[in-house]
Structure 1
Amino acid sequence: MPLHVPPAPAPALRSIRTALGSPTAVREDRTPSLRSARTPLTAGDPLPVHVLEQAGARGTAARTRLTGWRFLIKDGDRAVAAGEAMPTPDGWAFSHFFEGPYLASTERALAQAEALPTPYQPRLLSVPGLYMLTLWLHADITADAAFELFAPGDVLIPLAPAPPGIAAHRPHRAADLLPLLTPRLSPGARLQATA
């Protein structure tokens, strides 16, 4: 079933394209693949990026916050980096370029999602306290990309590398995975992890 990707804000995409044309932005973000590209670079596969603000402990609803839009940067048909635009009081601005394992993992998770029988709206969900990133498949395909709550039927696919004990690329119902994250995100759990 095809994914229903919400349209990225035009100023967000424009900021990424402008940064791709800026030698300073490409050089300062230490992305060797952008500097060594053999074909004109393109920005595609836009995904809204949300950060988990509240995991939904003890009967409370899990809540997120939209923090930006991420675009895969392609050299030909191969993703070599990602670029992120962030909201500002005046609209959208380029944030940064980066490389790393989440590029291939994002592409793999998107391919997994395309093969599912149910239509979804793809998003990225970051869980900073666990250094975790997931592909969030939102069940309401007509929702605004900035909508912060989970819907019944939402699915999370943890990207690799995933935290210990969480299998990467294994789809989980959000209602099942989020409660498992709550104890790991509690202040006591973080203190034990750093001790």
Structure 2
Amino acid sequence: MPLHVPPAPAPALRSVLAALGSPTAVREARTPALRSAPGPLTPELPLPLHVLDGITSGGRTARSRLAGWRFLISDRDHPVAAADTRLTPDGWTFSHFFEGPYIASTQRALRQAELLATPFQPRLLSVPELYMLTLWLHGDTGADGASGAPAPHDLLVPLAPAPPGICSHRPRRVSELLPVLTLRLAPAPLLGQPA
């Protein structure tokens, strides 16, 4: 089933294109793969990047907020880096280029998602408290990609590297994975005290 990728804000895309066209921005980026790519470099698959805040064991519902848009930067063959944009008081602006394992892991998770029978809107969901990034497959394909919270029936695909005890690239419903994350963040009982 094809994924329904939400359109990125035009100013976010323009800021990434401007950064790619700037020899200084590319040269100063800490991304050897980006600097050595033969080109041409193209921003692809813009995904809204949301951050999940407030995961607690107290039963309070976690909140998500839009942190920016992430573009995979591809040369002729495959993604070599990514570019993040962020919203400022003056509008969308380029933030930084980066590379690392999440590039290939994102691409792999997107390929997995395309094989699912249900249509989804892909997003990224970061869980900073666990140093975790997931591909968030939102069930409402017509929703505004910049808003909303993970619904219980949405799928989360933890990207590699995932935190210990969480299997990367195994899609799980939000209703199944969120309690696991809550347990991971619960403070451990002190020795000698009942749990």
TM-score higher than 0.5: yes
The letter of the residue matching 2:26 is V
Secondary structure of 1:67's counterpart equals: strand
Aligned to 1:172: 172
Q: Between the two proteins, what is the percent identity of the paired residues?
A: 68
Between the aligned partners of 1:53 and 1:61, the Cα distance in structure 2 is: 9
- Using the TM superposition, give the Cα deviation of residue 87 of structure 1 relative to its aligned residue in structure 2, in angstroms: 0.8
1:112-170 deviation line (CA, Å, top 9, x unaligned): 00000001000001111111100000011111112231224200000000000000000
Between the aligned partners of 1:43 and 1:143, the Cα distance in structure 2 is: 23
Q: Is the 8 A contact 2:121 2:139 kept in 1?
A: yes
Q: How many residues in Structure 1 have an aligned counterpart in Structure 2?
A: 189
Structure 2 gap ranges (5+): 190-195
Q: Is the 8 A contact 1:109 1:159 kept in 2?
A: yes
Secondary structure of 1:169's counterpart equals: coil
- Using the TM superposition, give the Cα deviation of residue 182 of structure 1 relative to its aligned residue in structure 2, in angstroms: 1.4
Between the aligned partners of 2:46 and 2:55, the Cα distance in structure 1 is: 25
Secondary structure of 1:13's counterpart equals: helix
The letter of the residue matching 2:73 is I
Secondary structure of 1:145's counterpart equals: coil
With normalisation by structure 1, the TM-score equals: 0.92
Q: Is the 8 A contact 1:55 1:179 kept in 2?
A: no
- Using the TM superposition, give the Cα deviation of residue 94 of structure 1 relative to its aligned residue in structure 2, in angstroms: 0.4
Aligned to 2:145: 145
Aligned to 1:53: 53
With normalisation by structure 2, the TM-score equals: 0.92
Q: Is the 8 A contact 1:29 1:97 kept in 2?
A: yes
Aligned to 1:93: 93
Structure 1 gap ranges (5+): 190-195
Between the aligned partners of 2:154 and 2:20, the Cα distance in structure 1 is: 34
1:24-63 aligned within 5 A: 24-55=24-55, 57-63=57-63
- Using the TM superposition, give the Cα deviation of residue 186 of structure 1 relative to its aligned residue in structure 2, in angstroms: 4.1
Structure 2 CA distance for partners of 1:109 and 1:60, relative to 1, 3 Å = same
